[in-house]
Amino acid sequence: MSSIPKPFRLFALHPKALLVEWETKPSFILSKKLVAIKKSLEGDSQVSRITLGYHSILIHLNKKFENKVFWNKRIQQIQAETEEIEFTKGLHWKIPVCYEKEYAPDLLAASQALGIDSKNLIEIHSQKSYHVNFIGFLPGFLYLSGLDERLQLSRKKKPNLFVPSGSVGIGGSQTGIYPQDSPGGWHVIGKTPIALFDPRNNPPCFASAGDMISFIPIDSKSFLKIKEQIQNGHFKLNPHD
């Protein structure tokens, strides 16, 4: 089984914050191992919170750390323990997305910039499965890896001041869904009626690091139907095998 590349680097970002970083590209195995290390550290009374990155872990401590060597050895030990873990696949979520013009203001411009037609862009985007590396930036914002190289497009030089929640965008080597109304610099190529973050739910975000996401094209009529079902409490998004 593939292991985390060694060695890692340990930085003191703050008297109560340590950054552990691996020099490698994001991958499914790396993400799974970082999640395993995170779970192990969460049981430590010295740790208040853990934040995941693509190839890093930020350890927030309850008090100022006194011994960097201790933490270096601790991470080495936990990393060694993860070598014996057999990882299971996360959940696979299939998200309905409408790529029609009214929900995809940047689709045409993005397809022209990429040198492909809109139909081909949609096919490429919706035929891939994306790995959830971590959640951040906004509550429920999924950082996804796996965007096809043919769709990799630099972010907008001038970000939009308002991007509606549910907007599906591409930017750089990433794709993602805006969980809330917010500014944003990605190219919006579609929209989902599904809410990615709801504080009334437990957990508030249905997806977790290690899960997989696929986008299922729907038309505007289906979009409105699903939206109505959600409002009436008659729609539930279930994971797939």
102/132 same-domain check = yes
Give the pLDDT confidence score for residue 226 in this predicted structure.
97
How far the first Cα of the chain sits from its last, in Å, is 22
Q: Is residue 12 part of a domain?
A: yes
- pLDDT, one tens digit per residue, over 20-66 is 998 877 777 788 788 888 888 988 889 998 888 888 899 999 999 88
Q: Which of 40, 63, 82 is the endpoint of a domain?
A: 82
Range of the domain at 195: 92-231
Q: Are residues 194 and 214 in contact, defined by beta-carbon separation less than 8 angstroms?
A: no
Structural domain count, the chain: 2
Residue 240 pLDDT > 50: yes
* Both structure tokens of 121: 């862009």
Q: Is residue 3 part of a domain?
A: no
Give the pLDDT confidence score for residue 99 in this predicted structure.
98
108/217 same-domain check = yes
Q: What is the CATH number of the domain that holds 28?
A: 3.30.1360.40
110/35 same-domain check = no
* Both structure tokens of 215: 């986008």
Pairing of strands 56-61, 167-171: unpaired
76/96 same-domain check = no
Q: Is residue 2 part of a domain?
A: no
Q: Which amino acid is at 202?
A: N
138/191 same-domain check = yes
CA distance 207 to 33: 17
65/96 same-domain check = no
CA distance 88 to 137: 27
112/142 same-domain check = yes
CA distance 154 to 170: 9
Please enumerate in sequence order all residues whose Cβ is within 8 A of that of 206, keeping only pairs 6 or more positions apart, or say none: 93, 196, 237
Q: What are phi and psi of 197, to 5 degrees?
A: -145, 125
Q: Which of 53, 82, 111 is the endpoint of a domain?
A: 82
- In the three-class reduction of DSSP (H, G, I as helix; E, B as strand; rest coil), residue 184 is classed as strand
What value does the mean pLDDT take over residues 198-211? 86
Residue 141 pLDDT > 70: yes
103/192 same-domain check = yes
Q: Which of 82, 107, 136 is the endpoint of a domain?
A: 82
What value does the mean pLDDT take over residues 155-182? 94
Q: Are residues 212 and 195 in contact, defined by beta-carbon separation less than 8 angstroms?
A: no
Q: Is residue 37 part of a domain?
A: yes
18/99 same-domain check = no
pLDDT bin (cut points 50, 70, 90) of residue 1 is very low
State the average pLDDT for the chain.
89
100/209 same-domain check = yes
Q: Is residue 236 part of a domain?
A: no
Please enumerate in sequence order all residues whose Cβ is within 8 A of that of 61, keeping only pairs 6 or more positions apart, or say none: 16, 17, 18, 46, 47, 48
Q: What is the CATH number of the domain that holds 192?
A: 2.40.100.10
Q: Is residue 241 part of a domain?
A: no
Q: Is residue 211 part of a domain?
A: yes
44/124 same-domain check = no
What value does the mean pLDDT take over residues 170-191? 95
Residue 5 pLDDT > 60: no
Q: Is residue 238 part of a domain?
A: no
Give the pLDDT confidence score for residue 7 in this predicted structure.
75
134/69 same-domain check = no
Q: What are phi and psi of 217, to 5 degrees?
A: -65, 135
Residue 186 pLDDT > 60: yes
